Amino acid sequence: MSTIALHVNRRAVEVPAEPRTSLADFVRDKLDLTGTHLGCEHGVCGACTVLLDGVPARSCITYAAACEGADVTTIEGLDEDEVTSELRAAFTREHALQCGYCTPGMLVSARDLVLRLPDADERSIRVGMSGNLCRCTGYVGIVRAVQSVIEARRARSIAPLAGAGRTGLGPVGSGRAAPGRSESRPAQQALAAASENIAACSIPDFTPATVLDQRFTLPYPPAKVFAIFDDIAVIAACLPGVSLGSPPTPERVEGAIRVKLGPVAAAFEGAARVERDPATLSGRIVGIGTDPRSRSATQGEIRYRLLPLDGGAATAVELSIGYTLTGMLAQVGRPGLVRDLAKRLVAEFAANLDRRMSGVPSGPGTSAELSFWSIASDVLRARIARIFGRRSEAG
């Protein structure tokens, strides 16, 4: 359990909570702000909508810990808000509510539309409110209520706000910290430190949070395999998603790795240093990278050792892959799935390397982007096959 610091309804709060606690559970259970309702708990119905740094957000699928330092406004914090007061009156006048369960989320979303839509266009309002579901009203009264408030405010020469006051794009709540608290946020610290190290040409040693051991074989002598491991451009071309930004040197390599985890895309740009020991046919690659878009940073280490097989005619490549990931993308990883994905990635790397050493063009088989779904589908098929295999043996 860790302490989460937020500004909720213009009041600073610091409350201990589990990292898995959603923002909806945080404000309801920890702060007793029960005006935020929970419906589907999948981010679909919109009943849990709150303002996060002034932007409507689904609090049921938002981790409270991911909002460290953000400004949260629940329906209780809008009691004296001018726009919300006008909307409440219009909802009553237009019979825009019945049971009222969806109404807090409706009001938060409607307020955003009133602030930014230039006119009371029915289609724009219906599209803007489509993320808030109601089982009672049929939406006609809701649309009329929002229209009436927009019309009244524009008639009073109250102009719309561009973007409703938004200052940037991206996940709400993740881009701003409260004054004086940014230095206490581990993800931001890691991101800043990684960027400084890359710029300063310093690639530090580190202790990986996760280490995965892999092994594959190549039908070539160890000396030949060790020689191609010295060609960083070739190795990079065989790794899915990796590209070099400039010609590598023996001491430093700069480039990027592109990752796509479903709808989440990241491009880690960074640098690595390469170490080799010809006496033991071993080496190490230590890298560091940042993805400013997702505010994530990573450190990685690949240790390899080459062992002779079949009297030196073939080579066993032993890999130890260690990494540490901080920031938003660190929430995505699951140890079991990561291990399976690592096996699949190493297999693809080994196949690409084998083709390169044999002189066969890699063609379209080499992935230009590390795609979660293309790899995960193979992993899931393998897991299903293992499950059915165990069942058939048991039968």
pLDDT digits (tens, 9 = 90+) for 83-109: 999 999 999 999 999 999 999 999 999
Q: Which residues contact 36 (CB under 8 A, 6 or more apart)?
A: 24, 27, 28, 48, 50, 59, 74, 75, 104, 105
Query: Taking the domain 81-163, which CATH number applies?
Result: 1.10.150.120
> Residues 370, 266: contact at Cβ < 8 Å?
no
CB atoms within 10 A of CB 290: 25
In angstroms, how far is the first alpha carbon of the chain from the final one?
Answer: 44
Query: Taking the domain 186-394, which CATH number applies?
Result: 3.30.530.20
Residues of the chain with CATH 3.10.20.30: 2-77
Residues of the chain with CATH 1.10.150.120: 81-163
- With bands split at pLDDT 50, 70 and 90, how would you rate the model's confidence at 190? low
Structure token pair of residue 177: 């910290």
pTM (predicted TM-score): 0.48
Query: Taking the domain 2-77, which CATH number applies?
Result: 3.10.20.30
The values of phi and psi at residue 17, to 5°, are -160, 155
Express each pLDDT in 286-301 by its tens digit. Answer: 888 888 776 777 888 8
Q: How far is CA 50 from CA 40, 56, 73, 107, 113, in A?
A: 15, 6, 6, 10, 14
Residue with tokens 């600073």: 12
Average pLDDT, integer, range 215-244? 88
Residues of the chain with CATH 3.30.530.20: 186-394
- Alpha-carbon radius of gyration of the chain: 27
Is the pLDDT at 177 greater than 80? The verdict is no
